[in-house]
Amino acid sequence: MDTETLKSFIAIAETASFSLAAERLFVTQPAISKRIALLEEELGNKLFDRIGRQISLTEGGRKLLPRAHRIIQEIEDSKREIRDLSGDISGKLSIAISHHIGLHRLPPVLKQFSQQYPDVSLDISFKDSEAAHDDVLHGKLELAVVTLAPKTLKKIHSEEIWPDPLAFAVANDHPLASVKNPNLDLLSQHPAIIPGDATYTGQLIKEVFSSHQLKLNTLMATNYLETIKMMVSIGLGWSVLPATMLDDQLTRLQIKEASLSRRLGCIYHTERSVSNAAKAFIGLLEEQK
């Protein structure tokens, strides 16, 4: 059992496809099939069920998957720790970024980092903040720059970089735009376009209305704030957006009953050593404060 075989197993489990896994790892499909056959022979168990074109993990495969992730992580961490002893800032830095932060907050940091540390290979993935938290927790990512969880999560270190005040907003020609003293009760009577309940931002909004025994009249939900802003700007409903996103297409509603804000920052696992590259990236983030 070697690391390339385990990486092949993980890739197939994540893509549910031998061909897609082969593309991800830049090998041929016969090569990846041979690796899995040898691994199944070594373990004495089938790892995948193949029914037609559908591929799924067997019970043995489901038990191996978290262990395979841990083995790969331990090996990568060991390589990185030994390399970092020299003090060099190099190697690969796996980092997740939320879409909003990637568009509005992080470009200057990424530019400065790539110029200052050319020997670091950035492996960037754009993810919802909640998925990024989960990937950091399970060792799939070293670092993430996302919306921080409202409550402290075990084994996750969170560092706020940007406070992000939120604002209730509607299109300039929306009926609510001309109301002098709008309140939550009035908002609950109009269609809302908000982030999904599974998002930290969506949870904040829902909790405010629940605390006033009010139900949201949700027209639609999406995790992409830029999409929400567009829908609101054409008058389809009201929403809650980062105050920094408001422009002359939108009217801010002053809701005295609610003052919402979220925290944007970086997270990493408390039990995982932080690489020199990650420390350098965090240092540049801290300068943004």
The reported pLDDT for the residue numbered 87 is 67
Residues 93 and 153 in one domain: yes
- Alpha-carbon gap, residue 67 to 6, rounded angstroms: 10
**Contacting residues for 46 by C-beta, under 8 A, at least 6 apart:** 40, 58, 60, 61
Residues 132 and 249 in one domain: no
- Whether the CB-CB separation of 65 and 57 falls below 8 Å is answered with yes
Residues 279 and 243 in one domain: no
The reported pLDDT for the residue numbered 222 is 86
What CATH number is attached to the domain comprising 63? 1.10.10.10
Residues 233 and 269 in one domain: no
| Helix pair angle (18-25, 29-43), 10° resolution | 110
Q: Which helix (H) or strand (E) element contains residue 175? A: none
The reported pLDDT for the residue numbered 2 is 83
DSSP 248: T
Domain interval for residue 109: 88-162+264-286
Among 48, 64, 81, where does a domain finish?
81
The reported pLDDT for the residue numbered 220 is 85
Number of structural domains the chain divides into: 3
Residues 19 and 48 in one domain: yes
Cα angle, residue 69 at apex, residues 21 and 138 outer, rounded to 5°: 115
Residues 157 and 184 in one domain: no
> pTM of this prediction?
0.73
The reported pLDDT for the residue numbered 261 is 94
The reported pLDDT for the residue numbered 249 is 94
Among 54, 81, 108, where does a domain finish?
81
- Alpha-carbon gap, residue 122 to 277, rounded angstroms: 9
The reported pLDDT for the residue numbered 84 is 63
List residues bridging with 77 in a β-sheet: none
Q: What token pair was written down for 174? A: 């929306």
194, with CB counted inside 10 A (0-12, 13-18, 19+), is buried
- Alpha-carbon gap, residue 252 to 226, rounded angstroms: 16
Among 53, 81, 109, where does a domain finish?
81
The reported pLDDT for the residue numbered 152 is 79
Encode the chain (289 residues) as per-residue pLDDT tens digits.
Answer: 788 899 999 999 999 999 999 998 999 999 999 999 999 999 998 999 988 778 899 999 999 998 888 888 778 777 767 766 666 788 889 899 999 999 999 999 999 999 999 999 999 999 999 999 999 988 888 999 999 998 878 899 999 999 999 999 999 999 999 998 999 999 999 999 999 888 999 999 999 999 999 999 898 888 899 999 999 999 999 999 999 999 999 999 999 888 999 999 999 999 888 889 999 999 999 998 8
